[in-house]
Chain A
Amino acid sequence: MNVRSQIAMVFHLDKCIGCHTCSIACKNIWTDRKGAEYMWWNNVETKPGTGYPTKWENQEIYKGGWEKNGDTVSLKGTGKFKGLKNIFHNPYMPVLDDYYEPWTYKYQDLFTAPEGDDQPTARPVSLVTGETIEVKSGPNWDDDMGGSPDFARQDVNLEKLSPAEREAMFQLERMTFHYLPRICNHCLNPACVASCPSGALYKRGEDGVVLINQERCRAWRMCVTACPYKKSYYNWHTGKSEKCVLCYPRLESGQAPACFHSCVGRIRYLGVLLYDADKIERIASATDENLVEAQLEIYLDPFDPEVIKQAALNGIAMSTIEAAQKSPVYKFLKVWKLALPLHPEFRTLPNLFYVPALLPGMANVQNGIYNTTSKSLWHGIDATRLPIKYLASLFSAGNTDKIVEVLKRLMAVRMHRRGETVGDLSKEEISAAMHEINLNGKTADEIFRLTSLATFDERFVIPPAHREESIEMLENTADVKGNTGFGFKERPARGL
């Protein structure tokens, strides 16, 4: 057993309102620079939709992620030979149009325009060329376009559906959408790290954050192709690639990353998971239908004395192990089994998990009356507006059982709380639902609490970074004692 610690995340999609506050918080802190304007380290997509960059999920276009290769995995687009073959011209890279051409407006024209018959307008100008442009698309151009032919119907996940299922999905009564906020998954088996010819990418030992060393990056851009989530971006101004850093300077000082901190719907949870690094290769090469189950297996029980002992042997601080025991991510993922990874079939073992949205059941309106197709509003699992197959394509590599299980759990918690607070559901109905998935009232209450009422400290359990100790590895802090602190910029008139 080779125990390591990893900062992992859960996004509760039922709570996401698609406000993009997370994206703006991230943009203001990290990517509001020349060459980085088009990057959205955090973005919010509408599903069904094509996403950002457009159709990023289609690895036949972008060749990202890993492929199962017997008992191991190999990179789909790059790697030793394929990478060498394409090292000077990588043919699968997204172009700027696949993202969008960033722009601003000539706001000054509003003030300086000469008097005329028409209102002055602020024309859009490209942030790349500085020229006036025709805005063709933006990073969330498919926002709320849940039934549109150009976006929703081009969703890559629809390929798993039969034409009839696809058509049914876009009937007026069934049309629906939900949001999917995305950041870097800080994967356990990161394809970007594996693809880099310069060795510029690395996974931090202490918390598993995947970073690009800006000194070593030589702009091969293999990581841009290799990352199946397209979360590594090339900065055309600096000639280096950049990606989400999980706000590690904030993490080190005990603050949640900016997108987590600013989340209006409080959908985000962050905590430590302990995992067994020896199992990565075996689990990454599991068969598609077992991928989700296998990935859960790699995360270890932080209460197990053997795990604690091995973790301590690997140099994991006791404070980190304690944080892992309090981790909300561990609860959602392992204890309650409510969270699922996004596109596990990319085989990168992502560390960002999603609680799928419990979408409304099918219904139609007749004579102004809302009729559900199921017996009651609470039995809509089998008739969700989005086909289970569609959700399975997103979160479980096609394993529909997993999706049904999670949705049933979510529904059981709701029924339980409805029974507690409103009391209009029969006891038999609730206990049947709870019994089906082995959920007791106490656990359901805990799920409810962490979902709806959790405080900052419950949602973000950040292990101490022990910076006071780490600096002692580099220098003797006693040497500079008295050299910093309170002083004078100018010599005072009296004194000294």
Chain B
Amino acid sequence: MFMKGKSIIKTISIFSLFVATIQLPLAAQNGEATFKQSCGVCHSIGKGKLVGPDLKDVNKRRSEEWILKFVKGSQAFIKSGDADAKAIFDEYGGMVMPDQNLSDDAIKSVIAYVAEQSGGAVSASVAEATPSQTETKDTANLADLILKGRLYFEGNTAFKNGGASCISCHNVNYKDMIAGGVLAKDLTNCYARLGGDAGISGLLSSPPFPAMTQAFKNNPLTQDEIKALSAFLQDVDNPQAPQTAGMNPLLIGGLIGFMILFGLILLVWNKRKIRSVKSDYHGRQIKTIN
């Protein structure tokens, strides 16, 4: 009986070990796919910060329960009063991580994948994390690229696949460009915020934000377009670029037009009836109540 029981435990443990060895690579495999699809745009594993933090060894830094809560609803989690979550949110300049519509199992598989990669990817060079610094740009082509990006941004050139131009939802403060939409975040400083070319191109090739995901689901941007936009956004973020908001001809023209219009109204309707015809004696009446 005792022997039998021992053998059963042994059998179970062997079986579970077997299952585990099978399961782990399987989970890691699913985890890889999910990571690339949902996380990789903003997060790296051991390659430094992109939009969000480097996830290397995240399984060691945080409990599984913590990660699950953060991924599924970061804002709700922060509001619930978790100090660590708040600290991260503040560290990344209040950049909201979109809530991920993933099952617990899928998230666990991602954690498993991250754990597996954290071990092997130690050797990944840090320099690789900021490819924009290593990339050299031809200055002559750069001006062209920025202009192209601007035209895309403003919608003067349509995106090849018919996506909506950036300005319909976003604003940037850039030279004499007219103000853009206020539906989404201001992109003036996004180049630095999102981690340079890598962050921007990653974000644009598969946008993680729900509204943007929907908007570009069926009409993704091409690599050329992303490159141009990235160059443009870098130029926007350049503090040396002359900020001419005060001299905006549209604003000044609008003000002058406004004054001319009001002057005309005063002239054309100068005989209009402004006061009550009784105001003469109404004004002289003595008040009996305060």
Q: Which residues of A contact B (CB under 8 A)?
A: 50, 53-55, 61-62, 91-93, 95, 97-98, 123, 132, 134, 136-137, 150
Question: Judging by beta carbons under 8 Å apart, are B281 and A61 in contact?
Answer: no
Question: Judging by beta carbons under 8 Å apart, are A97 and B278 in contact?
Answer: yes
With contact pairs A134-B288, A136-B285 given, residues A91 and B278 touching in the complex (Cβ less than 8 Å): no
- For residue B4, CB closer than 8 A to chain A, the reply is no
Other CB < 8 Å A-B pairs besides A123-B289, A150-B280, 20 of them? Answer: A50-B277, A54-B278, A61-B273, A61-B277, A91-B269, A92-B273, A93-B273, A95-B273, A97-B276, A97-B278, A98-B276, A98-B277, A132-B289, A134-B287, A134-B289, A136-B278, A136-B282, A136-B285, A137-B278, A137-B282
Interface flags for B257-288 (1: CB within 8 Å of A; 0: not) read 00000000000010011001111111001011
Give the contacts of B142-170 with A (CB-CB under 8 A). none
Q: How far is the CB of B13 from chain A (nearest CB, A)?
A: 84
Residues in A with CB closer than 8 Å to B278 are 54, 97-98, 136-137
Question: Judging by beta carbons under 8 Å apart, are B273 and A54 in contact?
Answer: no
Q: Which label, helix, strand, loop or mixed, suits the secondary structure of the B interface?
A: loop
Residues in B with CB closer than 8 Å to A91 are 269, 272-273
Residues in B with CB closer than 8 Å to A134 are 285, 287-289
Chain B count of residues within 8 A CB distance of the other chain: 14
Q: Which label, helix, strand, loop or mixed, suits the secondary structure of the A interface?
A: loop
Residues in B with CB closer than 8 Å to A132 are 289
A61, B272: Cα distance in complex, Å: 8
A224, B154: Cα distance in complex, Å: 50
A-B contact count (CB 8 A): 37
Residues in A with CB closer than 8 Å to B279 are 97
Q: Which 4 A-B pairs have the closest CB atoms?
A: A91-B272, A97-B276, A150-B281, A54-B277
Which one, A53, A61, A97, A123, contacts B282 given CB within 8 A? A97
Which one, A53, A92, A98, contacts B272 given CB within 8 A? A92
Q: How far is the CB of B45 from chain A (nearest CB, A)?
A: 63
A62, B281: Cα distance in complex, Å: 19
Smallest CB gap from B279: residue in A: A97
Smallest CB gap from B288: residue in A: A134
Q: Which of B272, B276, B277 has its CB near the most chain A CB atoms (within 10 A)? A: B277
Smallest CB gap from B274: residue in A: A91
A137, B279: Cα distance in complex, Å: 11
List 5 A-B pairs, Cβ < 8 Å.
A97-B278, A98-B276, A98-B278, A123-B289, A134-B288
Smallest CB gap from B289: residue in A: A134
A97, B282: Cα distance in complex, Å: 9
Q: How far is the CB of B274 from chain A (nearest CB, A)?
A: 9
Q: How far is the CB of B272 from chain A (nearest CB, A)?
A: 3
Residues in A with CB closer than 8 Å to B280 are 150
Residues in B with CB closer than 8 Å to A50 are 277
Residues in B with CB closer than 8 Å to A54 are 276-278
Residues in B with CB closer than 8 Å to A150 are 280-281
Smallest CB gap from B290: residue in A: A134
Smallest CB gap from A62: residue in B: B273
A158, B136: Cα distance in complex, Å: 91
Residues in A with CB closer than 8 Å to B276 are 54, 95, 97-98
Q: How far is the CB of B210 from chain A (nearest CB, A)?
A: 41
Residues in A with CB closer than 8 Å to B277 are 50, 53-55, 61, 98
Residues in B with CB closer than 8 Å to A92 are 272-273
Q: Which of B272, B278, B281, B289 has its CB near the most chain A CB atoms (within 10 A)? A: B278
Residues in B with CB closer than 8 Å to A136 are 278, 282, 285
A92, B275: Cα distance in complex, Å: 11
